[in-house]
């Protein structure tokens, strides 16, 4: 893997770092903003989820804007939105102002969630694409860890501790904005805009001079249909099965319960008797596990493929959730045992659904429909995430932890069976080869 490709991927993955930070930082603030704004459990759910409503709009904006202005420029715009959101949410004195700032951050997260993996997938050589797109997931989990760690360090800074927690995001937002000046535009976007010479120069740097010409020819062949792609193209008979797979995988990634842990871990730990400081310290263990097992997934995904990781990872998540559910049913919810099962769940997720779903969704769709197909799939991901995030505090209160985690365990089993039956393997092929093979298959 040449250093130029790695540098491009690292810069693009900074969008993933901000994505992870912004979605996780709220977990450290919930025990402080709930009394500050006078929120009920339902009100807390909606406030935590406010970012996710912005995510949904951000994905749709990113798809259209990314096709029109290019992946790079729209990522720069997202960096500005991250910065504005950090300043705005940290300085909020009313709930409305806080919600507006968080929704702006959600717009940025939505943009980063589609354009960062898409940009990396469109620039990465086929043999490294799984690992490089997984680098975006690694950046997401590093962002989550940084959020958990900074929350822990700032918890003792007084009554305004939650403001400092939210303000930290401004620094990586500035870093992303200026780093994007160092990277090129996607060669596939350039070819779509009749700028093949520029695309060839980039492909020479990313794939080598021997392969660049052939790869450019493949891209041009897949983009011979010159009319502007529209969303209705996604329901064509050959594309619709791919769209359904993308949507179902995206939804399963969220309804297996991952963000209930990322957003509400301190609340879960506090519910079994841990102090705020101890609960935030335990979230650092979650963040470290997330990073370690994402690195393991990066090492495995191009070797064993996406399907195997998804099937076995879902089965492992189910096992951990069953253990967590059993603890609640037996009323043995000591902090250490809850932590053990949560860490096991995070380990299996980070080694499977975490990176693999993003990789598969970035690979499924033809070049001319990639942004639109990913937009629809990722919008459904954020809708599912919103539903789970809004309902989880209520489920925990009304149904108990035992039933809540049992429901998530059953969903994990369903995901494993779905992948085994319906999801194709995509490793080791160029995006153009995949386009040809999947069009024949479906």
Name the DSSP letter for residue 1.
-
Regarding pTM above 0.95, the answer is no
Confidence (pLDDT) at 94: 92
Beta-carbon count within 10 A of 198 CB: 14
Q: Residue 127 domain-assigned?
A: yes
Confidence (pLDDT) at 263: 66
Q: Residue 293 domain-assigned?
A: yes
Measure CA of the first residue to CA of the last residue in the chain; give whole Å.
32
Q: Which residues form the domain of 31?
A: 3-183+225-441
Helices and strands (H, E) in the chain, number of each type: 20, 0
d(CA 213, CA 225): 20
Q: Residue 250 domain-assigned?
A: yes
User: Which residue reads 């879960």 in tokens?
Assistant: 268
d(CA 117, CA 124): 10
- SS3 state at 32: helix
Confidence (pLDDT) at 279: 67
Confidence (pLDDT) at 130: 77
Beta-carbon count within 10 A of 156 CB: 8
pLDDT tens for the chain, 442 residues long, are 578 888 888 898 899 899 889 888 888 888 888 889 988 877 887 888 888 888 888 888 887 888 889 889 999 999 999 999 999 999 999 999 999 999 999 999 989 888 888 888 888 877 777 788 878 878 888 888 888 888 888 988 888 899 999 999 999 999 999 999 998 998 888 888 888 888 888 888 888 877 778 888 877 776 665 456 677 778 887 888 889 999 999 999 999 988 777 767 766 776 655 555 666 777 788 888 988 998 998 888 888 888 999 999 999 999 999 998 998 888 766 667 888 888 999 999 999 998 889 888 888 888 778 878 888 888 898 888 888 887 887 887 788 878 989 999 999 999 999 999 988 888 877 777 777 777 766 6
Confidence (pLDDT) at 157: 85
Beta-carbon count within 10 A of 150 CB: 19
Q: Residue 357 domain-assigned?
A: yes
Q: Residues 126, 130, 132, CA angle at the centre, nearest 5°?
A: 90
Q: How many domains does the chain have?
A: 1
Domain with residue 64: its CATH number is 1.20.1250.20
Q: Residue 201 domain-assigned?
A: no
Q: Residue 194 domain-assigned?
A: no
d(CA 346, CA 266): 15
Q: Residue 213 domain-assigned?
A: no
Q: Residue 381 domain-assigned?
A: yes
């Amino acid at each position: 893997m040449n250093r130029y490709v790695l540098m491009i991927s690292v810069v693009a993955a900074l969008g993933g770092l901000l994505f992870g930070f912004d979605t996780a930082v709220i977990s450290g603030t919930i025990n402080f903003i709930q009394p500050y704004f006078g929120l009920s459990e339902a009100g807390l759910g909606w406030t935590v989820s406010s970012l996710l409503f912005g995510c949904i709009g951000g994905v749709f904006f990113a798809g259209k804007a990314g096709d029109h202005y290019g992946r790079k420029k729209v990522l720069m715009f997202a960096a500005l939105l991250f910065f504005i959101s950090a300043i705005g949410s940290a300085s909020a004195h009313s709930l409305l102002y806080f919600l507006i700032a968080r929704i702006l951050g959600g717009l940025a997260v939505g943009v980063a969630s589609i354009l960062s993996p898409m940009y990396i997938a469109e620039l990465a050589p086929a043999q490294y694409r799984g690992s490089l797109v997984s680098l975006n997931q690694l950046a997401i989990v590093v962002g989550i860890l940084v959020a958990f760690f900074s929350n822990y360090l700032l918890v003792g800074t007084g009554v305004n501790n939650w403001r400092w927690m939210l303000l930290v995001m401004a620094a990586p937002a500035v870093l992303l904005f200026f780093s994007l000046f160092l990277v090129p535009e996607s060669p596939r976007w350039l070819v779509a805009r009749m700028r093949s010479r520029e695309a060839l120069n980039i492909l020479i740097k990313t794939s080598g001079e021997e392969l660049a010409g052939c790869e450019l020819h493949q891209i041009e062949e897949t983009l011979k249909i010159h009319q502007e792609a529209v969303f209705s193209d996604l329901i064509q008979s050959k594309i619709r099965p791919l769209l359904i797979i993308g949507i179902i995988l995206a939804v399963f990634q969220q309804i297996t319960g991952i963000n209930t842990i990322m957003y509400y871990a301190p609340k879960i730990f506090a519910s079994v008797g841990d102090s705020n400081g101890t609960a935030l310290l335990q979230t650092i263990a979650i963040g470290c596990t997330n990073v370690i097992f994402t690195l393991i997934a990066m090492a495995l995904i191009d070797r064993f493929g996406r399907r195997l990781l998804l099937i076995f990872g879902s089965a492992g998540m189910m096992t951990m959730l069953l253990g967590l559910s059993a603890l609640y049913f037996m009323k043995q919810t000591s902090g250490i045992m809850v932590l053990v099962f949560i860490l096991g769940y995070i380990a299996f997720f980070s080694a499977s659904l975490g990176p693999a779903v993003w990789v598969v969704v970035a690979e499924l769709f033809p070049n001319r429909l990639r942004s639109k197909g990913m937009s629809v799939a990722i919008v459904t991901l954020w809708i599912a995430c919103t539903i789970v995030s809004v309902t989880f505090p209520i489920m925990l209160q009304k149904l108990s932890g035992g039933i809540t985690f049992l429901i998530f365990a059953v969903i994990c089993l369903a995901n494993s069976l779905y992948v085994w039956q319906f999801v194709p393997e995509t490793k080791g092929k160029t995006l153009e080869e995949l386009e040809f093979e999947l069009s024949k298959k479906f």
